[in-house]
Chains A and B, each alone.
Chain A
Amino acid sequence: MFYKILRGLTKLSEVYKKLEEIVKEKYISNSIYVRHAYSRNVDPVLQGVPDIVIRPKDAQEISEILKIANIENIPVTPRGGGICEFGGSKPIGDGGIILDMKRMNKIINLDEDNLIVTVEAGISWGKLNEYLCHYGLYTGCMGPGSGMSAAVGGSISHHSVGGGGCAKYGACTNQLVSLEVVLPTGDIIETGSQANKYSKFPFNRFGNGPDLAGLFCGDNGIFGVKTNVSLQMFPRPPFAAYKTFQLPRKERVISAKIMNEIRQKGIDVYDVMYIMDLIVRIGCEQGMFPFWENLKKKRGVIFYTIEANSEKELDEKVKQIDEIMINNKTEELGSEISDGNIAKWHYTEQGHWQFYHNLWGMSPCMEPLTAECFSSIDSYPEILNDIDQWDMEHNEDMQKILSITKSRPIAGSGPILLIDGNNVEITCGFTSFGSYFDGVNHEILKEIDLKLWKSLLERVTKSGVQWYMMGDFMSRLMVDIGAYTPEYYNFMTSIKQVLDPKMILSRGKFNFWGK
């Protein structure tokens, strides 16, 4: 039963000793309990128990670890905040080394003149922005919806969005200036302006040849370990307005129309989020949204946040966007949070780092089996409709889960978030239950979950979306279902082979397994 205890390397092994010499005893562990602490992410079904967990202090240590890993052919998985919803920050299969990057969480330099901050990659968005707020600054894009914990390095690896500010600033990678990266073979490089060894400080991402920083943006951790990140910062505007509206019928199409009109009129909006009727209705039924319980019709809502440098500018922008809202027959909720104005909570109480948590755990043990993608504004109503259709087609399997858990999984999407360009972010999938329920291990639950998860994400992939946070599950599914063009996948494979000939780093993602 406890076969996993026997796995892995013991303290006496030569490899462990070599690694221990690099980082010192306090920062490395092969305790079975420490290993299991790092064996899961958010989803309830994927698990991978590492052999060793290391908390490195800098790029040099990581470089030395990777060199040993190459010699010994041991996979290495970097882990930032560890909040991937689809197994991205744990080993795929058991074994290997986890690099817990959270020890590297310092602010290295604040360049107030040039509005650039340089941080260690393990710092959270919460910590970074708490620091910046003392200078009247912020990161613009506030990272992912899990920004209180999520690491900046992990977010760069995924083009993260969702923590606020994405309609104005786009994904966090838009703000990237320079990276320090440890390549899988152990070489340490700097990108952007820092590729020129005579540059004294990071100031620009582009130039000095191709944008090789882009290689590591959204790489899901396969091309290198980010150790230092330089980001643009922005002065936080002193004025803001935030309003929430209930949508009329045909809310999916209307919400998309509103977002399109905002973009077409060039209104500089900070955030726009559409929360569909399913979430409002079930959330009210489950007691999660007391401020919406009095809504007569549990339709979806849409909210916006606008920032400005003067009251006049703010008034003008509000006037423009309110006109769009009125023309689309939305009904404004009151101005206070108690009136249902979730936009105010989102912005003034930093609810932007917590909104998604609301949608997890609606029932005991109910957890998300989702993935996160971008699509054009025009496309999302149809994608949401197709997810509904998929749900109906898979009712039989859903009922099997219901028969054990007494709760039926819910397929759909979290909030639809306007990001840069005419694009939105969709977190879609279904909620379900892990195999352990009511004191019994139901392996059948895991089997159904995996089958349904794969089925739904394949379906959404075929609608043409762009996955950005892919983890264990989605990165391999894209390859398994042949969604990449052969030429693109060959190109990506060639880069991987050059950078990481033994496929040490994040082994298994995108089916890069090595020999």
Chain B
Amino acid sequence: MSELKNLKEEWKAVFSCMSCGDCGFAIRPAVGRYLTCPVKEAKGDEGFEIYFSRGRMNILKSILEGQIPLSKELAEFVYQCSECGNCTEVCHMSQNEYIVLNTSKWIDHVKVWEALRKDLVEAGFAPLDRHGKLIDYMKDDNMRNPYGEEEAKKFEWVSEFPEIKEKGELMFFGGCTMPLRQVDTLKSMMKILKAAGKDIAMSKDEWCCGSIALRIGDERSVIDIIKHNIEIFKNMGAKTIFTACAGCYRTWKKDYPELLGEELPFEVKHITEILVDMLNNNEIPFKSVEGSEIVTWHDPCHLGRHMNLYEIPRAALLKIPGLELKEMKRNRNNAWCCGAGGGVKSEFPDLALNISKERIKEAVDTGAQILTTSCPFCIGNLSDAYKEMELDVQEKITVIDIIDLIASKI
């Protein structure tokens, strides 16, 4: 039997949940809140309470009290969660700085779910099949990515850009998803950087950041990866490293220091922070445009709720000529997740797609012609959902990474 080591550390959060159920049902238009849990809503009529936080907290109370055990059956339920953190937002949701809900001080749902996942892994009930393969690929010396591709393939795109240096103060961490699945976006990024005259460096020794394993709960597989990645960039003289992946960004900026118990020897930035600086300094030479298009921004959970990076991407969008930003009904901390995170996309792809379809419909409702974001997981899942949607939806809107959007206007 599992010792529940990780879950026991979260006992305050678990037993501070008072089962109000707002994590399942909250609608509070005055503060822009329209429902909470993308998984529960995607389950629709089958949305038993085990699919949202209150039910899960009740189960954890029973587990900690020794009434019921961990099991594979539990794992099948638990991993149907994108760890988007929207339940935490609701739980902390006075949404007014002058009124504080004290639960906000000791309930962090994502931390609880991650603790549970760690215990499930340690007890041998997880990872689930597909997740296990991703982690194996990630640890494989010939791959070092969760896609099961040869390691060298991740860096093939770099050969097209001899201007990328091997050492430098501003270093790019490529991650896995973009180089292996959305390489055109990386080429767009290089187009922007080149046009702005910005030098970057990168290493071909970087490994997967480990986000996948962390989200699944296999912390042990990640420690060596973290040390390796930090060492590589430290030795290359990095003062700032940036990434175009929201998952890598959260992992580098939040998880690495927490797991190591120390600050990183360099600053970590997301691509939108780099872009907004360039836009503010008028370093990007845009084509002249006539007329304007309406764009709406999807907040990736790993940028927004997990890292509080809401305004910088919007500031960037507002600086792009020919665009008018229109917010979706649910935005910023109330934003609806795309459904890909937390391992949902890989293990429960239909669930992930259903969640994304909901988000695309919401984007269409704004009247926007462009749905943009800055996370390869969101882009991948939204694009997959988009392809399955009716033609009239596809005629109304396109899904595009903010990098490609900017590059298209140079």
A1 and B102 within 8 A (CB):
no
Contacts A36-B59, A441-B65 given; does A83 touch B45 at CB 8 Å: no
Q: How far is the CA of A288 from the CA of B94 in the complex (A)?
A: 10
The winner among A100, A127, A146, A288 for most chain B CB atoms within 10 A is A288
Query: Is B97 an interface residue, CB under 8 A from the partner?
Result: yes
Interface range for A: 35 or more
Q: How far is the CA of A127 from the CA of B26 in the complex (A)?
A: 8
Contacts A130-B29, A286-B102, A350-B31 given; does A40 touch B61 at CB 8 Å: yes
A102 and B102 within 8 A (CB):
no
Chain B neighbourhood of A289, CB < 8 A: 98-100
B50: min CB distance to chain A, Å: 4
Chain B neighbourhood of A77, CB < 8 A: none
Query: Is B49 an interface residue, CB under 8 A from the partner?
Result: yes
Chain A neighbourhood of B56, CB < 8 A: 37
The B-contacting residues of A in range 424-446, CB under 8 angstroms, are 433-439, 441
B58 and A37 within 8 A (CB):
yes
B102 and A350 within 8 A (CB):
no
Contacts A364-B16, A365-B15 given; does A36 touch B68 at CB 8 Å: yes
Query: Is A489 an interface residue, CB under 8 A from the partner?
Result: no
Q: How far is the CA of A111 from the CA of B106 in the complex (A)?
A: 45
B99 and A358 within 8 A (CB):
yes
B15 and A2 within 8 A (CB):
no
Interface string of A35-53 (1 = CB under 8 A from B): 0111111101000000001
Query: Is B273 an interface residue, CB under 8 A from the partner?
Result: no
A386: min CB distance to chain B, Å: 26
B15 and A44 within 8 A (CB):
yes
Q: How far is the CA of A461 from the CA of B9 in the complex (A)?
A: 40
Q: How far is the CA of A436 from the CA of B25 in the complex (A)?
A: 27
B18 and A27 within 8 A (CB):
no
A126 CB contact (under 8 Å) in B18, B27, B65: B27
Q: How far is the CA of A133 from the CA of B69 in the complex (A)?
A: 46
Chain B neighbourhood of A351, CB < 8 A: 94, 96, 99
The winner among A41, A287, A349, A438 for most chain B CB atoms within 10 A is A349
A443: min CB distance to chain B, Å: 10
Q: How far is the CA of A44 from the CA of B15 in the complex (A)?
A: 8
A126 and B77 within 8 A (CB):
no
Interface range for B: 35 or more
A59: min CB distance to chain B, Å: 16
Q: How far is the CA of A4 from the CA of B65 in the complex (A)?
A: 12
A345 and B99 within 8 A (CB):
yes
Query: Is A148 an interface residue, CB under 8 A from the partner?
Result: yes
Q: How far is the CA of A361 from the CA of B107 in the complex (A)?
A: 10
Query: Is B183 an interface residue, CB under 8 A from the partner?
Result: no
Q: How far is the CA of A130 from the CA of B103 in the complex (A)?
A: 26
Q: How far is the CA of A390 from the CA of B272 in the complex (A)?
A: 59
Tell me the total A-B contact number using a CB cutoff of 8 A.
198
Contacts A31-B73, A345-B96, A439-B8 given; does A149 touch B21 at CB 8 Å: yes
A290 and B97 within 8 A (CB):
yes
Query: Is A360 an interface residue, CB under 8 A from the partner?
Result: yes
B28 CB contact (under 8 Å) in A39, A148, A362: A148
A37 and B18 within 8 A (CB):
no
Q: How far is the CA of A148 from the CA of B69 in the complex (A)?
A: 32
Query: Is A400 an interface residue, CB under 8 A from the partner?
Result: no
Interface string of A98-142 (1 = CB under 8 A from B): 001011000000000000000000001011001001000000000
A57 CB contact (under 8 Å) in B45, B95, B105: B45
Q: How far is the CA of A288 from the CA of B105 in the complex (A)?
A: 11
Q: How far is the CA of A146 from the CA of B73 in the complex (A)?
A: 32
Chain A neighbourhood of B103, CB < 8 A: 357, 360-361
B178: min CB distance to chain A, Å: 37
B270: min CB distance to chain A, Å: 31
Which residue on chain B has the smallest CB distance to residue A126?
B27
Contacts A42-B18, A286-B102, A289-B99 given; does A36 touch B62 at CB 8 Å: yes
Query: Is B217 an interface residue, CB under 8 A from the partner?
Result: no
Q: How far is the CA of A31 from the CA of B68 in the complex (A)?
A: 11
A22: min CB distance to chain B, Å: 14
B100 and A436 within 8 A (CB):
no
Q: How far is the CA of A33 from the CA of B256 in the complex (A)?
A: 33
Chain A neighbourhood of B102, CB < 8 A: 286-288, 358, 361-363
Q: How far is the CA of A438 from the CA of B98 in the complex (A)?
A: 31
Contacts A40-B61, A82-B19, A350-B30 given; does A148 touch B101 at CB 8 Å: no
Query: Is A367 an interface residue, CB under 8 A from the partner?
Result: yes
Query: Is B11 an interface residue, CB under 8 A from the partner?
Result: yes
Q: How far is the CA of A439 from the CA of B67 in the complex (A)?
A: 14
B25 and A148 within 8 A (CB):
yes
Chain B neighbourhood of A126, CB < 8 A: 25-28
Chain B neighbourhood of A363, CB < 8 A: 102
B18 and A360 within 8 A (CB):
yes
Query: Is A515 an interface residue, CB under 8 A from the partner?
Result: no
Query: Is B278 an interface residue, CB under 8 A from the partner?
Result: no
Contacts A126-B28, A365-B15 given; does A349 touch B59 at CB 8 Å: no
The winner among B25, B62, B66 for most chain A CB atoms within 10 A is B25
Interface string of B52-84 (1 = CB under 8 A from A): 001110110110111111000110010000000
Contacts A32-B68, A126-B25 given; does A82 touch B15 at CB 8 Å: no
Chain B neighbourhood of A348, CB < 8 A: 30
Which residue on chain A has the smallest CB distance to residue B77?
A33
Chain A neighbourhood of B101, CB < 8 A: 288, 354, 357-358, 361
Query: Is B93 an interface residue, CB under 8 A from the partner?
Result: yes
Interface string of A332-364 (1 = CB under 8 A from B): 000001101010010011110110011011111
B123: min CB distance to chain A, Å: 14
Q: How far is the CA of A366 from the CA of B28 in the complex (A)?
A: 26
Q: How far is the CA of A337 from the CA of B100 in the complex (A)?
A: 13
Chain A neighbourhood of B46, CB < 8 A: 26-27, 55
A2 CB contact (under 8 Å) in B24, B55, B69: B69
User: What are 18 A-B residue pairs whose CB atoms fall within 8 Å in the complex?
Assistant: A32-B68, A33-B68, A33-B73, A34-B50, A83-B21, A130-B27, A130-B34, A149-B22, A290-B99, A290-B100, A350-B28, A351-B94, A354-B22, A360-B18, A365-B11, A365-B15, A367-B16, A436-B15
Q: A287-B100, A364-B12 are in contact. List 20 more A-B contacts (CB 8 A).
A: A27-B45, A34-B49, A36-B62, A38-B49, A55-B48, A148-B25, A149-B26, A287-B102, A288-B99, A288-B100, A345-B96, A345-B99, A349-B96, A350-B29, A351-B99, A353-B28, A360-B20, A361-B107, A364-B105, A367-B16
Enumerate chain A interface residues (CB-CB to B < 8 A): 1-2, 4-5, 26-27, 29, 31-34, 36-42, 44, 53, 55, 57, 81-83, 100, 102-103, 124, 126-127, 130, 133, 146, 148-149, 286-291, 337-338, 340, 342, 345, 348-351, 353-354, 357-358, 360-368, 433-439, 441
Interface pairs A-B: 5 shortest CB-CB: A37-B55, A126-B27, A149-B21, A291-B98, A364-B12
